[in-house]
Amino acid sequence: MKVTVIGAGSWGTAVAWLLGANGHDVALWAHGQEQADAINKTGRNPRYLDDLELIGVHSSSSIEEVLDSTKAVILVTPSTVVRATVEKIEPFITSDTPVAMLSKGIERDTGLLLTDVCEEVLGNPNRIAAISGPNHAEEVSKSMPSATVVASTSIECAEFFRDLFVNPNFRVYTSTDVCGVELCAASKNIIAIACGISAALGFGDNTAALLMTRGLAEMSRLTVALGGDPRTCMGLAGMGDLIATCVSKHSRNRSLGELIAAGGTLEQFTEMTHMVAEGATAAITVTDLARKYDVELPIANVVRGILWEDRNLVEEIDTLLARSPKFELAGLDA
């Protein structure tokens, strides 16, 4: 079937390749026509994963063209432009066209999950899904065994996207906990920044394990507070993606943390990589949401302070380590 991928960054490119390899006719929307023309001419994306041959993929910068006769839409854009992107696609899809959200984050102005943004603009939540997991584009595009979870309030929608993506090297599990999957997707990027800072400061495996497990507790508390299932945090969208994002050389959020610890800035990171580190925005949106629901997120608050509030890195770490330990599973009762 024809499937449309909106976003030709590294993950969007890998997703287009995966769907093309599964035998689908893939329309890949690129922000600029020059990039789209290069993809069509060479079969490769000149900006991201440029050694990856894209079979069955046609690209265009025209929203109307890529959506013409499509049977499903996959959104892979930065979280900051999700609403604007969904508003652009709305006139060109039907009221029951399945839409999957692969972007990770929370809308800053409203505090809405990205699937809720889709529902607000498109209606019909039963055709909307969130997909998340430990899925580095660099490894998925090399057919390394990977897995993800697709969540929707409609199990039929979740199964539709499962069948669209699944192949022997890319396992897809289903869930109905959209809230939990999305909160995990946003929160784990913040913890990865903290792990990058930790590594750059010379701290070791014990510290990384501390940050990941207590970070998992933070995302679990927030998930419970918003009505999600805490068990989701132990799955692919939670612990799975947290591990991959915190330890991998491919992780842009970990790399951002390393740069910050070395005295660099968020602006420098963006200029160097031409990529968005979603954890930087999530440090604001996730902590704002936590304050609204009175949930403690000590690690996320420290990352926010370092990135956005000009707080001293060493002082923030000292403050974090000086916190009085509590009951380990505090706040995790479902």
188 is catalytic: yes
Tokens of 237: 């969208």
Residue ending a domain, among 132, 157, 178, is: 178
Structurally, how many domains does the chain consist of?
A: 2
Binned at pLDDT 50, 70 and 90, residue 332 comes out as low
23 shares its domain with 147 = yes
**181 neighbors 161 (Cβ within 8 angstroms):** no
What share of the chain in percent tops pLDDT 70? 99
- 285 & 140 share domain: no
Residue 334 confidence (pLDDT) above 50: no
Give the confidence band of 325 by pLDDT, cuts at 50, 70, 90: confident
Q: To which H or E segment does residue 59 belong?
A: strand 57-60
Report the share of the chain in percent with pLDDT over 90.
Answer: 89
In-domain check, residue 134: yes
| 99 and 162 inside one domain | yes
153: CATH: 3.40.50.720
**pLDDT, mean of residues 152-162:** 98
pTM to 2 decimal places: 0.93
Q: Tens digit of pLDDT for each residue in 27-44?
A: 999 999 999 999 999 999
Task: Please tell me the distance from the alpha carbon of residue 104 to that of residue 212, in angstroms, as a whole number.
Answer: 18
User: How many whole angstroms separate alpha carbon 264 and alpha carbon 272?
Assistant: 11
pLDDT digits (tens, 9 = 90+) for 238-295: 999 999 999 999 999 999 999 999 999 988 998 888 777 889 999 999 999 999 999 9
Length of the chain: 334
Residue 236, domain extent: 179-321
Pair 132, 73 in one domain: yes
In this structure, are residues 118 and 101 in contact, taking their beta carbons and an 8 Å threshold? yes
113 domain-assigned: yes
Q: pLDDT at position 52, please?
A: 97
Does residue 264 sit in the same domain as residue 292? yes
327 or 171, which is more confident: 171
Q: Which position among 2, 41, 104, 188 bears the catalytic label?
A: 188
Can you tell me the distance from the alpha carbon of 122 to that of 303, in angstroms, rounded to the nearest whole number?
Answer: 34
What pairing do the DSSP bridges indicate for beta strands 170-175 and 99-101? unpaired
Last residue of a domain, one of 163, 178, 193: 178
Whichever domain contains 278, its CATH number is 1.10.1040.10
